[in-house]
Amino acid sequence: MQLGLAVLRAIVGGLFFGHGTQKLAGWFKGHGLKATAEAFESMQLRPGVAHATVAGVAEAGGGVLLAAGLATPLGAAALSGTMITAIRKVHAPNGPWVAEGGYEYNLVLLAIVFAITAEGPGLLSLDALRGRTRWGTGWALGQLAAGALGSALAIELGARQDRAAKSQETPSRPAEAEPDAEGPAADARPLRSAPSPSQG
């Protein structure tokens, strides 16, 4: 049991580390920070570089903590937050199945992280060296709530920045002149020329 738990932590934590460094540095055939930031901005997560960096650090750092069995609830919360955000911003509209771009894989990872936190990282972990082989259901629920809160804040802040950026990008359009109520007689009046830039 202890060996199996250590193997599970190592595989899941290692994959999360790889996923995070794909974002941050383009390792493991990843797209790197610039392309990831552009993708995040398209999902209304602005500024894209900041969101991509936080997501990459959360996945890479959380993966290391999970694999090592160190500060397990902290690492789990970071990973849960990224998975909840991925579900909300990318996969939820596609339903559960990954074949259709759904969230089943993210949900499996959330369940694994929850279970490891609840049952603890086991004897073959750094938490065990600090006297903590089990964290319990309360910590598991706490890390999930913290991840959900972090995800909600990231999405809300990103949406606000996105709205602000789009309002600044949209050029102001001059108001259209309303039709003259005086009818055809107005056609005889001389047209007033618009001021040139030099006229202020």
Does the pTM exceed 0.85? Answer: no
- State pLDDT tens for residues 48-99: 999 999 999 999 999 999 999 999 999 999 999 999 999 999 999 999 999 9
- State pLDDT tens for residues 180-197: 444 444 444 444 443 333
- Locus of tokens 């369940």: 111
Q: Measure the CA–CA gap between 53 and 33, rounded to whole angstroms.
A: 7
- Cα dihedral across residues 25, 38, 74, 144: positive or negative: negative
Q: Two tokens at 138?
A: 């309360």
Q: Measure the CA–CA gap between 11 and 9, rounded to whole angstroms.
A: 6
What DSSP letter does each residue of 52-105 carry, written as one string?
HHHHHHHHHHHHHHHHHTSSHHHHHHHHHHHHHHHIIIIIGGG-S-GGGT-SHH
- State pLDDT tens for residues 126-170: 999 999 999 999 999 999 999 999 999 999 999 999 888 888 876
